[in-house]
Amino acid sequence: MNAYLQPSRCGCIDIHTHVVPHHFPAYVGNRPNVPWPSMRDAQPCHRHVVISDKVYRTVSSQAWDLDVRRGDMDRQGVKRHVLSPMPELLSYWLDAEDGAMLSRYLNETLADMVVAAPDRFSALGAAPLQNMDHAIRELEFAVGTLGLSGIEVGSNVGGVPIGDPRFWPFFEAAEACGAAIFVHPLRTAGMDRLVGPASLEQIVAFPGEIGLAAASIITGGLLSRFPRLRIALSHGGGAIQTLLPRMQHAWECQHALREAIPVAPVDAARTLYYDDLLYSATAIRALIETVGDDRVMMGTDYPFAIMDTDPVARVASLGLSDAVQDALRWRNAARWLDLA
Amino acid sequence: MNAYLQPSRCGCIDIHTHVVPHHFPAYVGNRPNVPWPSMRDAQPCHRHVVISDKVYRTVSSQAWDLDVRRGDMDRQGVKRHVLSPMPELLSYWLDAEDGAMLSRYLNETLADMVVAAPDRFSALGAAPLQNMDHAIRELEFAVGTLGLSGIEVGSNVGGVPIGDPRFWPFFEAAEACGAAIFVHPLRTAGMDRLVGPASLEQIVAFPGEIGLAAASIITGGLLSRFPRLRIALSHGGGAIQTLLPRMQHAWECQHALREAIPVAPVDAARTLYYDDLLYSATAIRALIETVGDDRVMMGTDYPFAIMDTDPVARVASLGLSDAVQDALRWRNAARWLDLA
């Protein structure tokens, strides 16, 4: 058994933390008006992420500086961060070759971070899912050559939900190389259904979007096709815990659905992983009741504004046994990441 | 106190049941290619709802025949059905005058049903929300003249979420005349995010859509504007129970959101009503924990394929006190409907 699987050595794992590199290389392709990201100085300890000449987001040095990050981790009692790119950087809207170049830069940046402190960091890279050949090549490089733990994927790619069969070649390769998959909301559905400030996209639309992504994985049969895949849903799977009983009820009473979906939705959902980023003991407990206590992991959205700032205490607040608390804090994550 | 508020007289109230009329009048307007509904015979005891020359849905006589319905109610131990149109009939995509004609027919049909058995039926009518003047006129006719209990509204009108301020004149009139409001998913967001059979719209997309509608009511400030409004969300508010803690967390830590949204999201959510149509004891209990046991009511989606067939037993399965079971089975509904 790997030393990391000893609880005292492993400590708590936060599986949902994001990275923005300190800088990006200049765009060297030959296409015009490419939304290639760049960084620009902002207030002290902050930089602007600039995309298409607009500030997409202003991020603090927590996003790239490992010393700052380790200080925060120590204060929170977190031993390991699983790093993944700020989702907008997945850039599925770039031409495939440009997307592959950007993914390569992100993956090398993440690999450098892991190498700097392998006892504190694991990483999930990027793959240009706008093109299956490029995506598979980058997956294999990121996991096989760089040693990343897996890939962060968007909930949809250009509006096509991640459970769509057109992505099966990528997932087949992910299963083959043992990559962990982390699904994150991106360019959400329902943007025209919001009333209020622009920040409602992340606040109100993310949970529905990740719920739809989870549903597409279940109804598209991805896990019956590739049963060894280890897929985790961010934001606690969002709406999936309220969709699932309805899907199960319909599956049980509608013959056509049983024909189309080979595995009962509730059983399929219990083969996925979920972070616990639901901001409520009631909601996290309901998720555990729905998918099982071997499926839920600690995750915070560090270092962004909406992050859960005390994940270890969050788990303690749920009223669970020590064994289940251990499962949420590190054991399930170690299994998902294949740290053994 | 009205006799209906005595539990023994009132009995259980199913607040979420739909009606399709046996037939529709021919279209008498002068516009071409209007998607005006009609009915056509199908297999015995069934009729096709035909819209734009296509069968939209085949429904059984439960949808219009009160004797059949009362038989089902008696078998389920349900004393009162709250009748509302099959949501597609709300027809917000018709020209406003045509929409007003169709709403009028639906409302008169519903009123006839209530008059036939006022001890068994209440009804929520239709209002053509594509035009505020017509909608308010029809609301006032339906509630003031016909005596209906309120209005069923879609989660959005032509893609505009129901919490948008452009609908405030309607809600102002609804508050003034004491109409109960029932929000139902319609033309859902996220249709491009589904993988699988067409029936997934209702199964997978409804909970997200009604969750977004609930969020729009909360973030748009509808209830601080019209605090005496009594609004119920169908399908248990769908995803709202997972959106809400995230909205609350963001509201507490982001100044701009507190400026834009005057009431804390959790507090606003506790002034809405919800049916219990979540198909899972875990999900219904989580809803009750989130919004309060004075806010949740029995609802089944009768007579459609996905309906909950034993609502009284569903409430019994939740492990609640007798007083709370009574609240879910009739007391909260009586308050929402203002049966007193």
Q: What's the Cα-to-Cα distance from B66 to each of A213, B39, B85, B309, rounded to whole Å? A: 41, 18, 14, 17
Count Cβ–Cβ pairs < 8 Å, chain A vs chain B.
210
Around Cβ B151, how many Cβ atoms within 10 Å? Answer: 29
Separation of alpha carbons A211 and B316, rounded Å:
29
Cis-peptide into B303, omega within 30 deg: yes
What is the reported pLDDT for A9? Answer: 47
To test the contact with chain B by mutation, choose from A160, A195, A201 the residue with the greatest count of B C-beta atoms within 10 A, namely A195
Flag if A208 and B212 touch (Cβ within 8 Å): yes
Across the range B58-85, mean pLDDT stands at 98
Residues A39, A22: contact at Cβ < 8 Å?
A: yes
From the list A339, A190, A207, A332, the residue with the least C-alpha distance to A273 is A332
Q: Which tens digit of pLDDT belongs to each residue from B136-162? A: 999 999 999 999 999 999 999 999 999
Record the tokens describing residue B102, joined without a space.
């169709």
Q: Which tens digit of pLDDT belongs to each residue from A43-101? A: 999 999 999 999 999 999 999 999 999 999 999 999 999 999 999 999 999 999 999 99
Flag if A245 and B213 touch (Cβ within 8 Å): no
Separation of alpha carbons B103 and B134, rounded Å:
10
Q: Which tens digit of pLDDT belongs to each residue from B261-302? A: 989 999 999 999 999 999 999 999 999 999 999 999 999 999
Q: Which tens digit of pLDDT belongs to each residue from A214-240? A: 999 999 999 999 999 999 999 999 999
User: Can you tell me which residue has the tokens 């589904």?
Assistant: B194
CA dihedral B242, A156, A267, B239 (to 10 degrees): 20
A243 in contact with B at a CB cutoff of 8 Å?
A: yes
Contacts of A246 in chain B (CB under 8 A): 203-204, 206-207, 235, 278-279, 306
Flag if B249 and A279 touch (Cβ within 8 Å): yes
Around Cβ A303, how many Cβ atoms within 10 Å? Answer: 22
Record the tokens describing residue A231, joined without a space.
């897929």
What is the reported pLDDT for A340? Answer: 66
Contacts of A211 in chain B (CB under 8 A): 207-208, 239, 242
H or E stretch including B291?
A: helix B281-291
Quickly state the pLDDT bin for B198 (edges 50, 70, 90).
confident
Q: Which tens digit of pLDDT belongs to each residue from A120-178? A: 999 999 999 999 999 999 999 999 999 999 999 999 999 999 999 999 999 999 999 99
Across the range A234-257, mean pLDDT stands at 95
Flag if A250 and B203 touch (Cβ within 8 Å): yes
Flag if A161 and B194 touch (Cβ within 8 Å): yes
Flag if B242 and A242 touch (Cβ within 8 Å): yes
User: Can you tell me which residue has the tokens 């109804």?
Assistant: A219
pLDDT higher than threshold 50 for residue B6:
no
Chain B, residues 270-299, CB within 8 A of chain A, namely 278-280, 282-283, 285-286, 289-290
Flag if B279 and A200 touch (Cβ within 8 Å): no
Provide the 8-state DSSP code for B335: H
B246 in contact with A at a CB cutoff of 8 Å?
A: yes
Residue A166: exposure state from Cβ atoms within 10 A (0-12, 13-18, ≥19): exposed
DSSP letters for A83-134: EEE-GGGG-TTS-HHHHHHHHHHHHHHHHHHHHH-TTTEEEEE---TTSHHH
pLDDT higher than threshold 50 for residue B62:
yes
Q: Which tens digit of pLDDT belongs to each residue from A92-124? A: 999 999 999 999 999 999 999 999 999 999 999
Separation of alpha carbons B225 and B30, rounded Å:
39
Flag if B207 and A278 touch (Cβ within 8 Å): no
Flag if A278 and B253 touch (Cβ within 8 Å): no
DSSP letters for B264-275: -HHHHHTTSEEE
Closest residue to A305, CB basis, from B204, B212, B254 = B254
Flag if A199 and B254 touch (Cβ within 8 Å): yes
Record the tokens describing residue B17, joined without a space.
């049941």
Flag if B190 and A208 touch (Cβ within 8 Å): yes
Contacts of A302 in chain B (CB under 8 A): none
Cis-peptide into B311, omega within 30 deg: no
pLDDT higher than threshold 80 for residue A3:
no
Smallest CA–CA distance, residue A37 to chain B, in Å, is: 26
Mean pLDDT of all residues belonging to chain A = 95
Around Cβ A227, how many Cβ atoms within 10 Å? Answer: 10
Smallest CA–CA distance, residue B136 to chain A, in Å, is: 22
What is the reported pLDDT for A8? Answer: 43
What is the reported pLDDT for B3? Answer: 42
Across the range A304-310, mean pLDDT stands at 95
What is the reported pLDDT for A264? Answer: 96
Flag if B195 and A220 touch (Cβ within 8 Å): yes
Smallest CA–CA distance, residue A171 to chain B, in Å, is: 16
Chain A, residues 162-181, CB within 8 A of chain B, namely 163-165
Chain B, residues 12-41, CB within 8 A of chain A, namely none
Flag if B253 and A306 touch (Cβ within 8 Å): yes
Separation of alpha carbons B315 and B236, rounded Å:
13
Around Cβ A284, how many Cβ atoms within 10 Å? Answer: 25
CA dihedral B210, B213, B218, B222 (to 10 degrees): -130
Chain A, residues 69-128, CB within 8 A of chain B, namely none
Residues A113, A64: contact at Cβ < 8 Å?
A: no
Q: Is the ipTM of this complex over 0.90?
A: yes
Secondary structure of residue A162 in the 3-state scheme: coil
Say what percent of chain B tops pLDDT 70.
Answer: 97
* Whole-structure pTM value: 0.95
A198 in contact with B at a CB cutoff of 8 Å?
A: no
What is the reported pLDDT for B340? Answer: 65
DSSP letters for B177-221: HT-EEEEE--S-TTGGG--S-TTHIIIIIHHHHHHHHHHHHHHTT
Separation of alpha carbons B204 and A308, rounded Å:
28
Q: Which tens digit of pLDDT belongs to each residue from B73-110? A: 999 999 999 999 999 999 999 999 999 999 999 999 99
What is the reported pLDDT for A262? Answer: 85
Flag if A279 and B189 touch (Cβ within 8 Å): no
